[in-house]
Structure 1
Amino acid sequence: MRKSKNFLSIFMGIFLLVSSTTTVMAATYPSDILDLTNWKITLPIAGSNGNAMEVKQPALDSYEHSSYFVDSGSGVRFKAHCGGATTSGSSYPRSELREMKNNGKDKASWSTTSGTHIMEIRQKITHLPVVKPHVVVGQIHDSNDDVIVIRLEGNKLFVDENGDDGPVLTNNYQLGTIFKVKFVAKNGGVQIYYNDNYVYTYKVSTSGCYFKAGMYTQSNTSKGDSYYAYGCCIIYDLNVTHY
């Protein structure tokens, strides 16, 4: 009887020790994976004004949406469906980050002719709309329009220069393949790198610029896609540098 009591005491002691040292894992938000200090996100959800909803700092630090903007393990999943809400300046839905400054309080705005401005993205595209399988997954925008973007159409991953085709990065992109792109804006141009290899420099002098990253679906229901058709990407690393 004494042995049973001693065994029970030892067992309970071990149980209490293990219990006291076990850490309960907290929920992971996208901001735990990507530094979102100087970003805001636009989602394909209608806000109070009927346009696409925005989430800014400091709310963005503890925000996620299970369908459109969520931790996917080692990356952040961005999804936009073709029937989603849009911004006033576009007819295409997006789940996309927009560069900010001053801890997310103000909109970023810089020039391709002054200073050096760099954005690096490591990501993969996992799904495309069915009828019009076109998406944008990284861009520089100025005060009026997009300046240069990374665009996928089917299997063709390429650089788009404000509506004009630039260099093809690959003609055989396979969904789920991780790749890296880098934009370097300086001296009146934007250098593009793909998987750490320099591709070319797009000569452009413009101001009011900012970076964007995430899923910008280039289709909607008027193009023949269903309301639920969607584009999706996962971003693993997103870094912006200005100097």
Structure 2
Amino acid sequence: MEYFRKEILSLVLIAILSVNATVQGQNSSVTDSDAKVETKKKKNKKKKKKKYKLPDIDLSHWKVTLPVTNEKGKPYEISPPEILDFASNDVAKPYMYIDSTRGAIVFHAMPTSSTTRNTKYSRSELREQMVPGENNVNWTFKQGGNLKGTLAMDETTRDSEGKYHRTIIMQIHGRLTNEQRDLIGEDDNNAPPILKIYWDKGKVRVKTKVLKNPSASYEELLHEDAWDDDEGFNFTQEVGFRKFTLEVQVSDGKMVIILNGNEYKVYESIHMKKWGVFENYFKAGNYFQSRDEGAYSKIRYYKLEVSH
């Protein structure tokens, strides 16, 4: 009898231990599962935080021209310091805005009635201001300058032949001093652009100016019709809709354009030397080169920096 009692007690003890082990296993399983869920939530939060990016662009020395008109019927512009708060400007929002998923400023342009003087095209484009809010302080080739940007074509339309529309993404624009303007009897300070860089059907194309008469006098050099367009140059790399980097290096009598740090175009000639009579300023953004109905393009700028 005693033997059976011991056996029964042993079986009961084994059953109790078995139940406890099962419960502990279940509790451990729940705890592990909860920990995994909590870890996953933290990772997801980190991922969400990483998605929000800002462009690496200081706008304190730039003004922007947008493809809409102001109350005077002229292209709408935002200068420093107001441009620093462009993201909250209701007029700017459709044409210059932050893409926070890519960390870029988007410049959106299309054909409108808002065109600047001496052109039929509209733009969403930055203009350098060495002194914020001031157009009358600029630089010469002798003083030199560097412009570097990382950008990409975001969207663009096609023409009737199925070819992508072109847009100018960077410029160096000439400017007459007040004395030069008065000397040749002009009513504004506009001078030709010595550099235009295009996004052209997925390629980067460069256009510059050459003198019609390299022996022209100082006064003759100041007239726009003294200069002609060169035949242009296409970089061999195709950028398409991918991100790429452009750098413009300017010094006395010389201009160097660099694509992605490994392809160069050097301009060093009598034309560059003679261009030294003009003041200049950099431009960057989207100067759209079409008047086709419904056409548009959007350029993303991730980085933009200038130095002198």
Q: What is the aligned-residue identity percentage?
A: 26
Say which of 219, 222, 230 aligns to 2:296. Answer: 230
The TM-score, its normalising length taken from structure 2, stands at: 0.63
> C-alpha separation between the residues in 1 aligned to 2:290 and 2:74?
17
State the SS of the aligned residue for 1:61. helix
Q: How does 1:1-243 map to 2 (within 5 A)?
A: 33-64=56-87, 65-73=92-100, 74-112=103-141, 114-131=142-159, 133-143=165-175, 144-162=191-209, 163-170=229-236, 172-175=238-241, 177-203=242-268, 204=272, 205-206=275-276, 207-220=278-291, 225-226=292-293, 228-242=294-308
- The 8 Å contact of residues 68 and 112 in structure 2, kept in 1 or not, is answered as no
Unaligned runs of 5+ in 1: 1-24
- The 8 Å contact of residues 126 and 233 in structure 1, kept in 2 or not, is answered as yes
What are the Cα deviations for residues 143-172 of structure 1, in whole angstroms up to 9, with x where unaligned?
Answer: 111111211222332111144343312464
State the SS of the aligned residue for 1:145. strand
Q: Which has the higher strand share?
A: 1
> C-alpha separation between the residues in 2 aligned to 1:230 and 1:84?
14
Q: What amino acid maps onto 2:166 in structure 1?
A: H
Q: What amino acid maps onto 1:102 in structure 2?
A: V
What are the Cα deviations for residues 73-114 of structure 1, in whole angstroms up to 9, with x where unaligned?
Answer: 1010001012351112211010000000223334441111x1
The TM-score, its normalising length taken from structure 1, stands at: 0.78
Unaligned runs of 5+ in 2: 1-48, 176-190, 210-228
Q: Which runs of 4+ in 1 moved over 4 A?
A: none
Q: What amino acid maps onto 1:134 in structure 2?
A: R
Aligned CA RMSD, in angstroms, stands at 2.3
> C-alpha separation between the residues in 1 aligned to 2:304 and 2:136?
18
Distance 1:119 1:108, change over 3 A: farther
For the pair shown, the structure with the greater C-alpha radius of gyration is: 2
> C-alpha separation between the residues in 2 aligned to 1:219 and 1:200?
26
